[in-house]
Amino acid sequence: MELKWLEDLLTLAATRNFSRTAELRFMTQPAFSRRVKMLEEWVGVRLLDRNAQPIALTEAGERFRDIAEEVARQLYQGRDELRAAAEGLASTVKFVATHSLSLTFFPQWISASEKAGEVLKFRLDTGHANACVQMMLQGTSHFMLCHTHPSVDIGLDPKQFLVYRVGFDRLLPLSRPGADNEPLDSLDGAPAHHCRYLAYAETSAIGRAVENLLRTSPAANRLDRVFVSPLAGVLNSMVRDGRGLAWLPQSQVGRELESGELVRAGSSEWDLDVDITLFRPRARLPSSAEAFWETLTATSATNTVQPAAA
């Protein structure tokens, strides 16, 4: 039996979708299915009800999921605590955040959080949303910071993780202006007018939220997807270069909007409100991480809620 088999099951239990889980695990679906089958053969019982829609764990699978979660977390946490002790970093609080929030939100937020409690040692890793989720499932980070929206399943089981809303943001459709200061690409144009659309990759949580918004709008048929990236910063650069329109976090484009370098590419009905959310495991964390959490949530414990379902 391999540890990655347990991680496969935990991710599948959260997403309840083979193809989505295979993507999160960076595998093809057939290869992922074979690995799940090997885990079932090792356990000796059927863990999945493959006839259910969406796929579900059997009663035995539910029991084994709890065991797998605890085993995986203890292994990774034990490894990291030993490494940290050897390196003199045992008191370090470890975060993982999406690229955009690590650049624009985290520095100011963590400074404000420190003012409410003792100054701690921090480590910040970054990645796209899927990679951040994997780090949380593996127990290599204490906290995850990312944008969330009710329409998007982030992939963390509410039975295993708590969340705390730490801020808000708004995704705005933006374009470079033309000589007349009108957007080069506009969502509010004539039905026959097509726009160049700069999209987020499927690994981006805010990208999935935008795609869900577009599925409900007939105007989405006018969008020609000409570029894809998981990074808001890359899309920002492409928009400023006049390559098309994109939905960008308002928190990151204040200067560009004020200077006129970017303009709205659609009315406010195209805006998308998102939360900035902090995730943590329900299992107890090292004392330094627990102290940070207690200080953070002391003023408004009612904000501790469960992750939104898909």
- Nearest Cα to Cα of residue 164 among 302, 293, 309, 278: 278
pLDDT number for residue 299:
64
DSSP-assigned letter for residue 302: G
Helix 3-15 / helix 29-43 crossing angle, nearest 10 deg: 110
Give the span between the Cα atoms of 222 and 19, in whole angstroms.
28
pLDDT number for residue 308:
38
pLDDT number for residue 302:
42
- The structure tokens listed for 77 are 């946490």
- Nearest Cα to Cα of residue 224 among 188, 249, 199, 189: 199
Q: Are 120 and 111 in contact (CB under 8 A)?
A: no
- The values of phi and psi at residue 15, to 5°, are -90, -30
pLDDT number for residue 116:
58
pLDDT number for residue 128:
87
Go through the domains of the chain in sequence order and give each one's CATH number: 3-67 (1.10.10.10), 87-168+274-305 (3.40.190.10), 170-273 (3.40.190.290)
Task: Report the C-alpha dihedral over residues 197, 231, 130, 147, rounded to 10 degrees.
Answer: -90
pLDDT number for residue 88:
60
pLDDT number for residue 134:
86
Q: Are 99 and 233 in contact (CB under 8 A)?
A: yes
pLDDT number for residue 115:
66
Give the span between the Cα atoms of 74 and 71, in whole angstroms.
5
pTM for this entry: 0.70
Burial of 147 (0-12, 13-18, 19+ CB in 10 A): buried
Give the span between the Cα atoms of 110 and 167, in whole angstroms.
12
pLDDT in tens, 169-209: 999 999 999 988 899 999 887 666 789 999 998 888 899 99
**Residue tagged 């970093």 (tokens):** 89
Task: Write the CA distances from 97 to 49, 63, 107, integer angstroms.
Answer: 34, 31, 11
Q: What is the pLDDT along the chain (310 residues), one digit of tens a residue?
A: 888 889 898 888 888 888 888 888 888 989 989 999 999 999 999 999 888 888 889 999 889 988 888 888 788 877 777 776 666 655 789 999 999 899 889 998 888 776 655 557 889 999 888 889 988 988 889 999 999 999 998 888 888 899 999 999 999 999 999 988 899 999 887 666 789 999 998 888 899 999 999 988 877 888 999 999 988 999 999 999 999 999 999 988 989 999 999 999 989 999 999 999 999 999 888 888 898 898 888 865 444 444 333 3
Beta strands 143-148 and 92-98: pairing type? parallel
Give the span between the Cα atoms of 220 and 211, in whole angstroms.
9
